[in-house]
Amino acid sequence: MQNNINSNMEYYCAYLRKSRKDMEAEAHGQGETLARHEKRLRDYADSIGIKISKFYKEVLSGETISSRPVMQQLLTDVENGMWTGVLVVEVERLARGNTLDQGIVSNAFQYSNTKIITPLKTYDPDNEYDEEYFEFGLFMSRREYKKINQRLHEGILSSVKEGKHVGAAAPYGYDKYKLPKQKGYTLKINEHESKMIKLIYELYCSGNGLEFICNKLNKLGFKPRRSNNFTKSTISHILTNPVYIGKIKYTDKATTKKVINGNIVRVKNENKNVIYVDGLHEPIIDLDIWNKVQNIRNKNLINRTKVDYTLKNPMASILKCGLCGRSLSRVTYSNRNDIRLCCRRCKKNVGSNIDFVEHKLLESLSILLEDYKIKLLNNDYSDFEDLLSVNESNILNNKTKLGKLEQQLNKTYDLLEQGIYTNDIFIERSNFLRQQIKEINNNIKELETEKNVIMSQKNSKEILIPKIENVIDSYYETSDIKMKNELLKSILEKVEYTKISPTNKDDFKLKLFPKIQA
């Protein structure tokens, strides 16, 4: 059903996301999904006389809104009243998750009075029937999603029990091979890589450790598929993967969903069901060698000290090297009772004691908070005001040009009526002016969209004040490292750390990047 939508002073965006069905279609050569959907929405927008100012492209695929960062940004902008309507190829692209996610999406569009536009129908939040139709569509898509998941799971289990390979990629030493005249895949030995697999097992059986094997393979020029060097974890995985003795291992229900701090997350399932079956592929490793390797590993694991993997650094994944951008690592020096934060890649950036860095970060947050408060009190947002001033000046200039062009277009009609312009000259001149008018109108729309973004950023700074206050107060009240880390992540995108001189312990700089919504 086509809809005529008035685009005067209205702003539209589009949301693009791949479904599982799209990924399967791409695997069969049907082209890149997001590009096809983008063209489809552009064509539809042109046909109903509107302009798409921004495309929100979800690269990561997630079941819930919490695992889809672009969707989160879209909902924030929708709640801020930034868009008149959002174009999608179908409503199911917005929310196919649980009832909670569907409610979040529905409320965001309803309370902001934002339309949802698809090539088949436009959903107006002011229309009671459209609202019910939209919610019913989300409900049905959720049911379909569950059925697809169930069929997919049953299909995987069936393939595993038949000895087929169900992984997305083949393990090192094998190539993925499509079974002729039947569904599914198996594995075919890769002659070059299989030599390396045999060498790893031989070296380990001879009493060599993981570090020695890594160095040996790297010196021989062997490379894993997704990196330049072998690591101990890669070797360990190869030594414990039963695929190399012709087995297929599948972990059914390896993770389960739990609600932690109000968010649905996946955690490892202690009661997971591990399935082992004989695979259709040929083994690379002899069973006697496999058993010998497992015996050696079991003896080593008995004597190994248990590693504590709980979070120790409250600034983990937030603190970045100011020279190379890599996350800083927590390094313990037992001989001098010192814990430091260092960049393992960039040797020029000198590390500092973790307590000094944490203390300075909280100080910097307090300074940032006071700066925001002063600006809010004095209504001093000169950085945004400058941007707005330039933006509004550009809008005014374009509107002035638009007025002149419209006058010139009107004059062409007068010149035609007076016989000064021939029909051919009139058509050529009027078409040229109309094209210029169209370009100026597009410029004005883009500038007005930019203005909305600047205003949204300014408002976000005001919203950020109570958030920073809450983080500082809560930070000093808890001793939970994970909680401190989550508090910092709630207001900071990242913090850049730079220290060039090793002499002064406090001589380092921190540059904060607050989470300001664009």
What's the CATH code of the domain at 103?
3.40.50.1390
205 and 83 together in one domain: no
Burial 356-387 (b: 16+ CB within 10 A, else e): ebbebbbeebeebbeebeebeeeeebeebeeb
Per DSSP, what are the bridge partners of residue 54? 13
- 492 is a domain residue: no
CATH of residue 203's domain is 3.90.1750.20
Is-contact 163 278, C-beta < 8 A?
Answer: yes
Closest residue by Cα to residue 119 from 143, 91, 155: 91
- pLDDT at position 517, please? 44
Per DSSP, what are the bridge partners of residue 287? none
Q: What is the rounded distance in angstroms from the CA atom of residue 86 to the CA atom of residue 94?
A: 10
- 483 is a domain residue: no
- 100 is a domain residue: yes
290 and 205 together in one domain: yes
95 and 29 together in one domain: yes
Q: What is the CA radius of gyration of the chain?
A: 30
179 and 45 together in one domain: no
The residue range of the domain holding 185 is 174-303
- 394 is a domain residue: no
Which alpha helices (H) appear in 264-352, and where do they start and end? 287-303
- pLDDT at position 143, please? 66
143 and 209 together in one domain: no
Closest residue by Cα to residue 513 from 364, 324, 388, 382: 364
152 and 243 together in one domain: no
96 and 223 together in one domain: no
- 514 is a domain residue: no
CA neighbours within 13 Å on the CB side: how many for 208? 18
Alpha carbon of residue 301 to chain centroid: 37
- pLDDT at position 266, please? 59
pTM for the model: 0.43
- pLDDT at position 21, please? 60
Q: What is the rounded distance in angstroms from the CA atom of residue 469 to the CA atom of residue 488?
A: 12
283 and 220 together in one domain: yes
- 428 is a domain residue: no
Closest residue by Cα to residue 400 from 448, 452, 446, 440: 440
Q: What is the rounded distance in angstroms from the CA atom of residue 269 to the CA atom of residue 273?
A: 9
Domain boundary among the residues 157, 189, 214 is at 157
Is-contact 504 353, C-beta < 8 A?
Answer: no
Domain boundary among the residues 287, 303, 319 is at 303
Largest CA distance in the chain: 102
Residue 310 is given by DSSP the state: S
Query: Three-class SS of residue 168?
Result: coil
- 67 is a domain residue: yes
Q: pLDDT digits over 76-128, tens only?
A: 889 888 899 999 998 877 876 566 677 788 888 888 889 999 998 888 877 77
Per-residue CA distances from 186 to 102, 189, 369, 394, 454 (Å): 39, 10, 59, 61, 54
Structural domain count of the chain: 2
50 and 121 together in one domain: yes
Burial 444-465 (b: 16+ CB within 10 A, else e): bbbbbbbbbbbbbbbebbeebb
- pLDDT at position 81, please? 86
Is-contact 87 15, C-beta < 8 A?
Answer: yes
Q: What is the rounded distance in angstroms from the CA atom of residue 96 to the CA atom of residue 138?
A: 7
> Token digits for 237?
């995985």
72 and 178 together in one domain: no
27 and 73 together in one domain: yes
- pLDDT at position 518, please? 37
What string of DSSP letters covers 228-269? SS--HHHHHHHHH-GGGGTEEEEEET-EEEEEETTEEEEEE-
184 and 152 together in one domain: no
Domain boundary among the residues 303, 321, 352 is at 303
- pLDDT at position 258, please? 60
- 445 is a domain residue: no
pLDDT under 70 in the chain at which residues?
1-9, 19-31, 60-63, 96-100, 131, 133-146, 148-149, 252-272, 301-309, 334-336, 375-386, 453-463, 504-506, 516-518
Residue 125 is given by DSSP the state: T
Query: Three-class SS of residue 176?
Result: strand
